Amino acid sequence: MSLQLPFRLIPRAQPSQRMLVVAPLLAVVLTLLVGLGIFAALGQNPLTAFRVFFIDPVSDIQGWSELLLKASPLCLIALGLAIGFRANIWNIGAEGQMYLGGIFATGLAIHFHETGGAWLLPAMIIAAAVGGALWAAITAALRAHLRTNEILVSLMLTYVADLLVKYLVYGPWQDPQSNNFPFTIQFGDDALFPLLASWSWLGFDTLLEGTRVNLSILMTLVAVPLAWLFMDRSFIGFQLSVAGLAPPAARYAGFSEKRLVWVALLLSGAAAGLAGVSEVAGPIGQLNDRWTPGYGFTAIIVASLGRLHVVGIVFAALLMALLYLGGEAAQIALQLPKAISQVFQGLLLMFLLGCDVLVNYRVERRRAALPVVQPVAAA
């Protein structure tokens, strides 16, 4: 069995800087071409469809506000995940850690609902980070000390965290006024991230009037440079990368695997917890049993799409958020079923991933005249 493609890939000595930009553009063009066919078959003008999908959602300040609101938690979680992924520590339970962040923050918000104070929100933020980290700590402890597979434990704990949220909002934390419906009370102002639009001293009140973007995006803005410092400039970040790229080397160098597991999982858990508080104390303003659209899972795509690098992750988070908003816009403006936007998201992601090959490889046409050296097939 031989696989003959009309081209072959020659590894580059250095990743191509040009292709870092060209590859994503090529992916968009390819998606466009496939999209052309699909849209034409659906009786839509492809160009209009693309405008609706990619440009309309961010054509006004309202759109940008929504984009940031959506990209921010994705970016935050993905940054945390990337730390572990670099060391081959696969925390795929960020969704559950995010729930715990939401739960811890909500606990404070409800308990101090009457008394409150300016300290409440900062305390909730810390609690959320602690909650996410604690949930991840279960995975960390089992992995570090009993060598239990972290992929599986973190995934299973996500299902448990979901049930824990349900238990709380159907039980002890249920709003007494809720007619037995599953949600907590609406948080007080002290327990909510202020809207950016409330910053009149910066002139934001007129600029951002009616938008929902809130102070929680500051957490992401701070996390981005910190993550960069940690991943690319700190010794432990270096250790994590070595452990991922060359585990034997890491062992010879005497890096403690246990320590790396703990660091990676606690940090990613804390980041996911922060994303949790940015939602419950942000646009939702309460805890209920279905408040997340799966940010913890989407963030895995964001981290991988961003090539586990900080800058890449920022762009990937914005792109995923845009795809999501675009899908909604296409439903509203063109009445395309949601399924079509999912097909598009899938296609674009596939093309993006596939085109990435150009960064590290050169494509060369195979010349038919030359005999191609084949690996000897196993008998």
Partner 1 sequence: MKTWKHTIRNLAGAVALTLLHGTSIAADPLKMAWVYVGPVGDGGWTYAHDLGRKAAMAKLGDKIQTTIVESVPEGADAERVIRDLATKGNRIVFTTSFGYMEPTLKAAKSFPKAEFYHATGFKSDKNVTIYNSRMYEPAYLAGIIAGHVSKKGVLGFVASFPIPEVVRNINAYTMGARSVNPKITTKVVWVNTWYDPGKERQAAEALIGQGADVLLQNTDSSAVLQTAQDKGVNAFGWDSDMTAYAPKAHLASAIEVWGGYYTKVAEAALAGKPLKTTVWGGMKDGMNDLVSISAALSPEAKKAVAEKMTAIKSGKMMVFTGPIKGQDGSIKLAAGKSLTDKEIDSVNYYVEGVEGQLPK
Partner 2 sequence: MIESLNPLLASAVAAAIPLILAALGELVAERSGVLNLGLEGMMLIGALAAFVAVAHGGGLVGAVLAAMLAGALIALVFGFVTLTLQANQVAAGLSLTILGTGITAFLGRQYVGFRAPASFVELPIPYLSEIPLLGPSLFSMNLLGYATLVLLAATAWVLYRTRAGLALRCIGESPTVARSLGLPVIPVRYAAVAFGGAMAGLAGCYYAVAQFKMWQEGLTSGNGWIALALVVFATWRPLRVGLGALLFGGVSALGLYLQAINVHVSVFALSSLPYLATIVVLVFISSDQNAIRRNAPASLGKAFHADS
DSSP assignment of 204-228 equals: HHHHTTT---BTHHHHHHHHHHHHH
Q: Which token pair is 72?
A: 């921010």
Q: Report whether 195 contacts 212 (CB < 8 A).
A: yes
Q: Phi and psi for 288 in degrees, rounded to 5?
A: -135, -175
Task: Give the separation between CA 200 and CA 62, rounded to whole angstroms.
Answer: 17
Q: Which does 346 bind (CB under 5 to 8 A by kind): partner 2, partner 1, none?
A: partner 2
**Binding residue (CB under 8 A) for partner 2 from 103, 142, 191, 260:** 142
Select from partner 2, partner 1, none the partner in contact with residue 229, using the beta carbon and a kind-dependent cut-off of 5 to 8 Å: none
Q: Which stretch binds partner 2 (CB under 8 A): 142-150, 185-193, 208-216, 254-262?
A: 142-150
Residue 307 structure tokens: 């090539």
Of the candidate residues 119, 342, 366, 372, the single one contacting partner 2 (CB under 8 A):
342
66 forms part of the interface with partner 1 (CB under 8 A)? yes
Give me the least distance between CB of 107 and partner 2, in Å please. 17
Instruction: Return the residues of window 99-118 that contact partner 1 according to CB under 8 A.
Output: none
> By CB under 8 A, which span of 49-57, 219-227, 277-285, 331-339 interacts with partner 2?
331-339
Q: Is residue 210 near partner 1 by the rule CB under 8 A? A: yes
* Closer CB to partner 1, 6 or 171, in the complex: 171
- Measured CA to CA, the distance from residue 136 to residue 119 in angstroms comes to 26
* R_g of the chain, CA atoms, integer Å: 23
> Where in 313-342 is the site for partner 1 (CB under 8 A)?
324, 328-329, 331-333, 335, 337-339
Residues 212 to 251 in contact with partner 1, rule: CB under 8 A: 212
- With the CA atoms of 73, 75, 79 and 85 taken in that order, what torsion angle do they form, in degrees rounded to the nearest 10? 100
DSSP H stretches of helix in the chain: 17-41, 46-50, 61-86, 94-111, 120-146, 150-170, 204-207, 216-228, 235-245, 247-252, 257-279, 295-305, 310-334, 338-355, 357-360
User: Which partner, partner 1, partner 2, none, binds residue 361 by CB below 5 to 8 Å per kind?
Assistant: partner 2
- Tell me: does residue 234 bind partner 2 (CB under 8 A): no
Q: How far apart are CA 284 and CA 38, in angstroms?
A: 36
User: Which listed option, partner 2, partner 1, none, makes contact with residue 340 (CB within 5 to 8 Å by class)?
Assistant: partner 2
Contact (Cβ atoms closer than 8 angstroms) between residue 300 and residue 306: no
8 near partner 2, judged by CB under 8 A: yes
**Binder to partner 2 among 13, 118, 146, 368 (CB under 8 A)?**
146
Q: Could you give the CA distance from residue 73 to residue 266 in angstroms, rounded to a whole number?
A: 17
Residue 92 or 109 with smaller CB distance to partner 2: 92
List the interface residues with partner 2, window 354-373 (CB under 8 A).
354-357, 360-361
Tokens 């034997």 locate to 248
Contacting residue, 4, 115, 179, 374, with partner 1 by CB under 8 A: 179
> Which residues contribute to the site for partner 1 (CB under 8 A)?
41-44, 62, 66, 69-70, 163, 166, 170-171, 179-182, 186, 210, 212, 279, 282-286, 288-293, 324, 328-329, 331-333, 335, 337-339
